[in-house]
């Protein structure tokens, strides 16, 4: 049935009855949704009815790498985990890399679908046909490092690759991550979903290899892609050497490195202490994902500061923003320790940092005091207080319990009009770009189906001055809706569904044909994505065309939005935090920039139009039919969202 | 007239400063920058600007936080007190026939 790349097997696990069974991976699913997030979102829509409690037994966790994961395609070992997010109520889809995704395919499975709730803590062992649901009471209370090692020893094989939760997931923190090695499917609280099922870990063992449908054709596409990697101006010279930390200086140079909970962007930015060149001095090795020739993940050790000797795989740019920029911290060793703690505990370091920053701003403004913060002097820049808060959040102690579910829930508990300071879209904390200075990136935050999510439609054109598909002025509004849609559709299908690493998308000349002239038409886009399409077609044996691949990206985005609409998440939720409309960026090269409500409405109106939505942001009937989303069309008619 | 340069990467290491203030002729352009820097700092920057590691045409040029494309906008003139940032190519992806926006 499957000529290559796919394994053809989907493992269902019912934790309520401690049962599992294997079904064939539906070929129609592969043809229309490709893999990864495509599988996750389609299955989520079908399996999780309207109003399902995200922390209840009827929510599902869908683990799905892409068809290329586990092959020798470079940068393709990527895992997507999908469920209804308890943090946002919307689609929760989170990605990670490392070894687990490849190992899961090589263990024989395209998809794990996990539902129900076990009475007692368990973990799942998958080694080819051998599938066992094992007791995990001894593991409950362990952090993610100890959990992974303990399971490997328990199973007597260090080659197991393990995705697991730590204490935050067990305690249902809405910022809980699912960790594999030190890679994180961090965002949207999926760690809490796993914890709510009493599922501590999933352990997979590679037991075989994947077929390639047309090896000669695939070899040529593979060679072409690697040549493109080599010719990229930035992939090996920038990303491989420095990791993502270069974005600290880049965003600061643009005046959009968010500082002090987005209240001091453009002013605070101690690059000599936390910039990429300073961080490069502490690199002791690189840690590539499975079959990745880039190796962007840098391991660093602190040599000075208040926490010398701390070792961390990172910090990535986002952690450098959330745990230094947003919190006003300039002690690099404290940043390393904070990054390390979030990995060890299993926490989304982005939401954690921005939530602590939210609390810091409240503290500085006198809205909360030491009485609320367990005596901690929670000023911006107090890195010791930040470290202490991370422990409290992870273990839900004291004030940590107030912050453990993110800034929006914290604002609800604190009251006193504190919600103005919660920097989020759809309750997901903002990533590390002050998008008042980058309009397409801001529109992406507004409209991403998971909430504010830089990786679902990254605007490398604005952030890095990239010219694929075209150069832009980051402050312009015109043309940004079309660009945002392009970014979202292409990144969704080529990164989240195929799966390839998102960093190829933000180093686009490594991935998309750089010889194609600038422009955003279908014809130009199809030429740009031809090589990647060829890899997918030759590996899978399914004759995808570039047009079909682009269509899959559209389909997945529209379906994800449809899930959200069904849950009551609509146009009213597609706006940036009020601060971004009312306050200009305080200083630096983007001083004064804001995105007014009128600007946001302008962008949304155009975005809905290019995506085929009506002015309320609901997909039009014909658009749903054109994208083979007849089920959604039926639902929307019966729910009254579309009138015929 | 005075301009302010912000430096990263090889240029920063070669020149030794993150920020420098320079006096340049009126109507100096982006395209004049390599010669301006070589006149002031000599060979230690020449090999970078015309070498394989970080040739000038690969740098990302910002003026007051806005991108200017090389080679299309080499004739862009500076104004008094402009802040010019020269970044190595770190991420992004350059391709196609450049159109100015």
Indicate if the pLDDT at residue A319 is higher than 60: yes
pLDDT band of residue A126 (cuts 50, 70, 90) is very high
Smallest CA–CA distance, residue A326 to chain B, in Å, is 21
Whole-number Cα distances in Å, A208 to A26, A211, B80, B91: 21, 10, 66, 36
Count the Cβ atoms, other than its own, within 10 Å of residue A140: 16
Average pLDDT over residues A62-80: 98
Element of type H or E holding B45: helix B43-49
Instruction: Closest CB to A590: pick one of B12, B65, B97.
Output: B65
Band (B98; pLDDT cuts 50, 70, 90): very low
Output the pLDDT for position B72.
87
Tell me which residue has tokens 């049935």.
Answer: A1
Task: State whether the Cα torsion A477-A479-A482-A483 is positive or negative.
Answer: negative
User: What mean pLDDT, rounded, does chain A reach?
Assistant: 97
- What would the mean pLDDT of A126-148 be, rounded to a whole number? 98
At residue A455, the pLDDT reads 96
Q: List the single residue in A466, A474, A590 with the smallest CB-CB distance to B93.
A: A466
Nearest-CA distance B98 → chain A (Å): 7
Mean pLDDT to the nearest integer, A455-469:
96
Separation in Å, CA of A225 to nearest CA in chain B: 14
**Contact at CB, A509 and B67, closer than 8 angstroms:** no
pLDDT at A301 over 60: yes
Q: With bands split at pLDDT 50, 70 and 90, how would you rate the model's confidence at A12?
A: very high
pLDDT digits (tens, 9 = 90+) for A290-300: 999 999 999 99
Confidence of residue B101 (pLDDT cuts 50, 70, 90): very low
Rounded CA separation A449/A492 (Å): 11
Of the candidates A238, A272, A518, the beta carbon closest to that of B89 is on A238
A209-213, A594-598, A604-608, B33-37 — which is least confidently predicted?
Answer: B33-37
Chain A residues inside the 8 Å CB shell of B64: 589
Nearest to A353, CA basis, from A344, A341, A363: A341
Instruction: Report CB contact under 8 Å: A466, B94.
Output: yes
Structure confidence by residue, pLDDT tens digits, A218-232: 999 999 999 999 999
Q: State mean pLDDT over A311-334.
A: 98
pLDDT tens digit sequence for A98-120 = 999 999 999 999 999 999 999 99
Q: Report the percentage of chain A scoring pLDDT > 90.
A: 99
Residues of B (20-39) whose Cβ lies below 8 Å from A: none
Q: Return d(Cα A310, Cα B42) in angstroms, integer.
A: 41
Subunit contact A277:B66, Cβ cutoff 8 A: no
Distances (CA, A) of A220 to A9, A214, A441, A509, A599: 28, 10, 35, 18, 46
CA angle (A369 as vertex; A365, A373 as ends), nearest 5: 125
Distance CA A377, CA A206 (A): 49
Contact A513 B95 (CB under 8 A): yes
How many CB pairs (< 8 A) connect A and B? 135
Tokens coding A510: 């490594």
- Judged by CB atoms closer than 8 Å, whether chains meet at B101 and A473 is answered as yes
A518 neighbourhood in chain B, CB within 8 Å: 95-99
Residue B53 pLDDT: 66
Average the pLDDT over A577-587 and give the result: 98
User: Per-residue pLDDT averaged across A598-619, rounded?
Assistant: 98
Candidate from B65, B93, B97 with C-beta closest to A254: B65
Cβ of B65 and A588 within 8 Å?
A: yes
Residue A245 main-chain phi, psi, to 5 deg: -65, -20
For A479-531, write each residue's pLDDT tens digit. 999 999 999 999 999 999 999 999 999 999 999 999 999 999 999 999 999 99
Q: In whole angstroms, what is the distance from residue A318 CA to residue A29 CA?
A: 33
Task: Kindly list the residues from chain A whose CB atom is less than 8 angstroms away from the CB atom of residue B87.
Answer: 249-250, 253
Residue A50 scores a pLDDT above 70: yes
How far is residue A3's CA from residue A7's CA, in Å, rounded to a whole number? 9
Distance (Å, whole) CA A355 – CA A368 = 14
Whether residues A516 and B89 touch (CB distance < 8 A) is answered with no
The predicted-structure confidence for A218-277, as pLDDT tens digits, reads as follows 999 999 999 999 999 899 989 999 999 999 999 999 999 999 999 999 999 999 999 999
pLDDT at B97 over 60: no
Closest-CA distance of chain A to residue B94, Å: 5
Least Cα separation, residue A469 to chain B (angstroms): 8
Give the residue-averaged pLDDT of A353-378. 98
B92/A271 CB distance under 8 A: no
Q: Would you state the pLDDT for residue B96? A: 66
The string of pLDDT tens digits covering residues A530-556 is 999 999 999 999 999 999 999 999 999
CA distance A285 to chain B (A): 19
B contact test, residue of A455, A467, A524 with most B CBs within 10 A: A467
For residue B49, is pLDDT > 90? Answer: no
* Mean pLDDT across A574-598: 98
- Report the predicted TM-score, pTM, of the whole model to 2 decimal places: 0.97
């Amino acid at each position: 049935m499957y000529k290559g790349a796919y394994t053809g097997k989907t493992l269902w696990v019912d934790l309520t009855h401690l049962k599992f069974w294997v079904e064939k991976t539906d070929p129609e699913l592969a043809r229309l949704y490709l893999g990864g997030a495509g599988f996750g979102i389609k299955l989520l829509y079908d399996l999780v009815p309207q109003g399902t409690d995200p922390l209840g037994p009827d929510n599902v966790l869908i683990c799905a790498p892409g068809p290329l994961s586990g092959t020798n395609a470079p940068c393709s070992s990527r895992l997507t985990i999908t469920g209804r997010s308890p943090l946002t109520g919307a689609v929760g889809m989170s990605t990670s890399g490392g070894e687990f995704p490849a190992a899961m395919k090589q263990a024989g499975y395209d998809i794990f679908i996990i539902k129900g709730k076990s009475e007692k803590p368990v973990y799942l062992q998958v080694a080819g046909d051998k599938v066992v649901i094992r007791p995990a009471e001894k593991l409950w209370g362990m952090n993610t490092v100890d959990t992974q090692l303990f399971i490997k020893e328990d199973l007597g094989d260090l080659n197991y690759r393990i995705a697991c939760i730590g204490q935050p997931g067990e305690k249902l923190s809405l910022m809980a991550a699912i960790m594999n090695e030190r890679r994180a499917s961090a965002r949207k609280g999926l760690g809490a979903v796993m914890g709510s099922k009493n599922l501590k870990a999933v352990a997979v063992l590679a037991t075989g290899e994947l077929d390639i449908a047309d090896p000669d054709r695939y070899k040529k596409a593979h060679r072409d892609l690697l040549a493109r990697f080599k010719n990229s101006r930035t992939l090996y010279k920038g990303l491989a050497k420095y990791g993502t930390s270069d974005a600290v200086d880049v965003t600061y140079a643009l005046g959009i490195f968010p500082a002090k909970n987005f209240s001091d962007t453009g002013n605070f930015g101690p690059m000599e202490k936390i910039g990429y060149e300073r961080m490069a001095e502490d690199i002791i090795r690189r840690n590539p994902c499975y079959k990745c020739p880039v190796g962007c993940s840098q391991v660093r050790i602190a040599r000075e500061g208040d926490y010398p000797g701390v070792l961390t795989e990172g910090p990535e740019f986002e952690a450098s923003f959330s745990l230094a920029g947003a919190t006003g911290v300039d002690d690099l060793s404290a940043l390393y320790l904070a990054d390390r703690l979030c990995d060890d505990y299993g926490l989304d370091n982005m939401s954690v940092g921005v939530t602590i920053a939210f609390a810091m701003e409240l503290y500085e403004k006198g809205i909360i005091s030491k009485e609320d913060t367990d005596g901690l002097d929670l000023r911006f820049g107090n890195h010791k207080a930040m470290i202490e808060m991370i422990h409290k959040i992870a273990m839900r102690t004291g004030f940590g319990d107030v912050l453990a579910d993110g800034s929006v829930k914290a604002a609800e508990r604190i009251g006193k009009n504190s919600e103005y300071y919660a920097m989020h879209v759809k309750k997901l904390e903002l990533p590390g770009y002050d998008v008042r200075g980058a309009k397409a990136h801001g529109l992406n935050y507004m409209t991403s189906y998971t909430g504010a999510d830089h990786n679902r439609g990254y605007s490398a054109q604005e952030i890095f001055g990239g010219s694929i598909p075209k150069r832009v002025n980051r402050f312009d509004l015109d043309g940004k809706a079309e660009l945002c849609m392009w970014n979202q559709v292409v990144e969704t299908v080529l990164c989240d569904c195929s799966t390839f690493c998102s960093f190829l998308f933000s180093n686009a000349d490594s991935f998309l044909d750089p010889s194609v002239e600038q422009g955003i038409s279908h014809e130009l886009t199809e030429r740009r994505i031809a090589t990647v399409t060829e890899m997918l077609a030759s590996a899978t044996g399914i004759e995808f065309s570039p047009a079909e691949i682009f269509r899959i990206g559209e389909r997945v985005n529209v379906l994800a939005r449809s899930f959200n609409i069904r849950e009551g998440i609509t146009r009213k939720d597609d706006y940036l935090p009020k601060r971004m409309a009312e306050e200009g960026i305080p200083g630096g090269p983007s001083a004064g920039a804001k995105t007014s409500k009128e600007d946001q409405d302008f962008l949304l109106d155009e975005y809905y139009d290019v995506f085929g939505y009506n002015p309320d942001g609901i997909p039009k009937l014909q658009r749903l039919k054109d994208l083979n989303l007849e089920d959604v069309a039926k639902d929307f008619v019966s729910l009254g969202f579309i009138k015929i | 007239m005075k301009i302010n340069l912000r430096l990263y990467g090889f240029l920063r290491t070669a020149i030794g400063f993150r920020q420098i203030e320079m006096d340049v002729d009126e109507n100096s352009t982006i395209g004049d920058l390599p010669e301006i820097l070589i006149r002031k700092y000599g060979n230690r920057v020449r090999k970078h600007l015309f070498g394989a590691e970080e040739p000038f045409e690969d740098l990302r040029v910002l003026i007051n936080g806005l991108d200017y494309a090389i080679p299309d906008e080499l004739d862009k003139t500076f104004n008094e007190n402009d802040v010019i940032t020269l970044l190595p190519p770190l991420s992004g992806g350059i391709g196609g026939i450049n159109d100015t926006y």
